[in-house]
Amino acid sequence: MKPPPFWYQESAGIFSRLTEAVLHPLAALYQFLVQRRLRSVKPSAVEAAVICVGNLTLGGTGKTPVAIGLLDIARQMDINVQALSRGYGGKNKGPLCVDLARHTAKDVGDEPLMLAATAPVWISRNRVAGAEAAILHRAELIIMDDGHQNPELHKDLSIVVIDADAGWGNGRIFPAGPLREPVEPGLSRANAIIVMTAEPDAPVDHDSLGLADLEIPVMTAWLEPAEALPAEPLFAFAGIGRPEKFFRSLAAAGGQLESTQSFPDHHVYSRSELRELRHAAEDAGAQLITTEKDYMRIPAAERSGITPWPVRVVFAEPARVTAWVQQALDAAAARR
């Protein structure tokens, strides 16, 4: 779905404000169900250490690049690390190990395909079953992409990723706003915070994000291009949580943006849509470009003429992230 304007714009108009008010009872019900599940489910501990990379809002914070960054660090530490994902958007319930040669986004979702380029990835609707499957394949550390609101699996370290620009939006619970749960209880279950900024040394408003009085570590990180941009004019399209963030990043990196087109998050592109995009780009004399995540959702036979633009996370304090990984390993060892 595309985030409605009132989620992030305070002056979105009378219609949006009325819609927000109408949705308030549904938001209260959603909050009640999430909190009841968190209180009623007892987490199951497994033999491996578990680090959860989650967020408090719907989409667009950068948690998957952070998870990939953690996988990289763990591999550098010579740890048998594997990833765990719900596999949102895929038809397989799992537990299933992602095979890049065989699986598509329709099978396992787009984010697991991105993770699988770095380390083995298990998808499983049941997180405990997925973790156990990874352990059977000798996983010492499991990086769980998303799941901060899922209490099934015991977490040795919970990292909450926040987008510095979007923050908490209008501060309301879904569907009246972008929050999955209230900020204070959500942050109270975190062991560390990573604030994703648009660029290095960008200021972070700790007060507005509710981070000023936290007793847990707060660190910044940002995304940098993993490849150079094409020199020709660009027609950018994206179906992610906040497509405009991708478009701004392209412009900031020096891309010549001729046109842009947004789609809902996790959008599955049809042949007709891709054909229309090609025609529009041709008319504009531009090269089609999209996110790596979107590229994973495009069938291999339809990717010709479309350039993916991969990015990588850069941690402001990589040594601290390494210490977090070791902290999770030590915590898992202590409870065994």
Domain coordinates of the chain in residue numbers? 49-224+314-335, 227-309
Q: What pLDDT, on a 0 to 100 scale, did the predictor assign at position 317? A: 97
pLDDT tens per residue, range 227-243:
999 999 999 999 998 89
pLDDT tens per residue, range 272-308:
999 999 999 999 999 999 999 999 999 999 999 999 9
Does residue 271 surpass a pLDDT of 90? yes
Give the domain 49-224+314-335 fold.
Rossmann fold (3.40.50)
Percent of the chain with pLDDT over 70: 97
Any idea what DSSP says for residue 42? P
Confidence of residue 12 (pLDDT cuts 50, 70, 90): low
Does residue 16 surpass a pLDDT of 70? no
Q: Which two tokens stand for residue 134?
A: 């990874």
Does residue 11 surpass a pLDDT of 70? no
Does residue 3 surpass a pLDDT of 80? no
Q: What predicted TM-score, i.e. pTM, was given to this entire model? A: 0.94
Confidence of residue 23 (pLDDT cuts 50, 70, 90): confident
Does residue 328 surpass a pLDDT of 70? yes
Any idea what DSSP says for residue 30? H
Q: Is 2 helix (H, G, I), strand (E, B) or coil?
A: coil
- How far is Cα 81 from Cα 251, in angstroms, rounded to an integer? 35
pLDDT tens per residue, range 125-170:
999 999 999 999 999 999 999 999 999 999 999 999 999 999 999 8
305: region left, alpha or beta (phi > 0 left; psi from -120 to 50 alpha): left
Does residue 13 surpass a pLDDT of 70? no
89: region left, alpha or beta (phi > 0 left; psi from -120 to 50 alpha): left
Cβ within 8 Å of residue 134, ≥6 positions away: 48, 82, 84, 120, 122, 142
Percent of the chain with pLDDT over 90: 86
